[in-house]
Copies of this chain bind each other. A is one copy, B any other.
Amino acid sequence: MKGSIPQGTIDRMTLYKRCLENLLNEDNRRQCITSSELGKETRFSPATVRRDLSCLGQLGQRKVGYRIDELYDTINKILGLDKAWEVALVGAGNLGKALAVYQGFKKLGFKVVVIFDNDKSKIGKSWKGIKIRDTRYMPEVIKRKKIKIAIIAVPFVAAQKTADMLIKSGIKAILNLAPSRLTVPDKIKLRSVDLAVKLENLSYLLARDKM
């Protein structure tokens, strides 16, 4: 069952999981949900939901649907969220600070345990109990703590060098928030988010409409 789940399905799993979590937190919570109902909540077609959930093996019951708690646990496990992940953050600038103190990641099971930066005025300080360390200790700390995931939030010019150093230190997966394209070996998992590109897409479209 593993190893062959398509990217789109994995993306949707995150959304299903979120929906199920909300249902589990409701006061008078129900036991089961059908694929149609889950589709309605997440705005995917029942067929898409059924196909996605079939990747999880035999879970649902005809007419009754899926047990919400069971489905939630199964998806969580598939997404690798049945354990907490320790995360290294590189870049203690504005964006880094925003992310380090953002509780949303922690709730998902991703806990920033160390921040690296070159700036001497920041090194040694702590944000919400997370210590800012000199970047030169990156290999040592990452190896010792066996950290596998890193978030890059450094300026454009430093991003590739940072990625290279993280990979040398043993990082296996990178979320790149730096406004730069990265080149990494095939075995390294990389996802990038560029908020500036998204915003400038919008301003382009608005400006174009006015022409």
Q: Can you add 15 more A-B contacts, CB < 8 Å, to A15-B180, A149-B199?
A: A13-B204, A14-B196, A15-B179, A15-B181, A15-B197, A22-B157, A43-B181, A79-B200, A79-B207, A80-B203, A80-B204, A94-B103, A95-B102, A110-B199, A189-B202
Task: Tell me, rounded to whole Å, the shortest Cβ–Cβ distance linking A76 to chain B.
Answer: 9
Contact count band on A: 35 or more
For the residues of A in contact with B, the DSSP-based class is helix
Q: How far is the CA of A157 from the CA of B123 in the complex (A)?
A: 39
**A88-111 toward B: CB 8 Å interface, digit per residue (1/0)?**
000000110111011111001110
- Is A47 part of the binding interface, using a Cβ–Cβ cutoff of 8 Å? no
- Is A80's CB under 8 angstroms from B208's CB? yes
Residues of B within 8 A of A200 (CB): 10, 13-14, 17, 79-81, 108
